[in-house]
Amino acid sequence: MGSQKWAYEDLTAGTSISLGSKLVTAEEVIEFASEFDFQPMHLDEEAGNASILGGLSASGWHTCCMFMRMLCDGFLLDSTSQGSPGIEYAKWKKPVLAGDVLTGQCTVVDKRTSSSRAGLGFVKIRSELYNQRGEQVFELENTAMFLTREAAR
């Protein structure tokens, strides 16, 4: 380690990182739902149209997972990340439908060093995803752990 771009020191309140974009395909929506969330509105276009979601819509958990992949690609894999103890909150603000293109960003809200583990810090991050119409579809706040540059050497 030690050569990563983002260590604990680099993440301060207001630091904002743009994530790439992600096309949501019907195949992926159905595949995910078949494994983890097989409610009709996530499996079938007609059932989706008939639901309050208004179309073949990704499971909210699928949106979380697509976000996580975008976060890995755009940030975490080039960081000293040590995982996360949990999620402060997540909001599925609008349906994510097959054919949507998601973009997003994450912004550091707060940080503190661990009192029990030298070289480790907790960083609270707010993340957002938008669709191709600029509508916010997802908001997440969670705390992630990062090593200091020194500890990651």
Work out whether 65 is an interface residue with its own copies (CB under 8 A): yes
Count of residues engaged in binding its own copies, rule: CB under 8 A: 34
Work out whether 5 is an interface residue with its own copies (CB under 8 A): no
- Binding residue for its own copies (CB under 8 A) from 9, 12, 23, 88? 88
- CA 102 – CA 23 distance, rounded (Å): 6
Work out whether 78 is an interface residue with its own copies (CB under 8 A): no
Give the range of 10-18, 19-27, 54-62, 122-130 binding its own copies by CB under 8 A. Answer: 54-62
Which alpha helices (H) appear in the chain, and where do they start and end? 26-36, 45-50, 60-74, 149-152
Determine contact, residues 145/124, Cβ cutoff 8 Å: no
Least distance in angstroms from the C-beta of 63 to its own copies: 11
Helix (H, G, I), strand (E, B) or coil at 84: coil
Q: What's the burial of 107, exposed, middle or buried (CB within 10 Å: 0-12/13-18/19+)?
A: middle
Nearer to its own copies, 87 or 101 (CB): 87
CA-based nearest residue to 79, from 1, 152, 6, 11 = 6
Work out whether 80 is an interface residue with its own copies (CB under 8 A): no
Least distance in angstroms from the C-beta of 12 to its own copies: 23
Q: What's the burial of 133, exposed, middle or buried (CB within 10 Å: 0-12/13-18/19+)?
A: exposed
Work out whether 59 is an interface residue with its own copies (CB under 8 A): yes
Give the range of 5-13, 15-23, 36-44, 128-136 binding its own copies by CB under 8 A. Answer: 36-44
Residues that bind its own copies (CB under 8 A): 35-39, 41, 51-53, 59-61, 64-66, 68-69, 72, 76-77, 81-93, 145
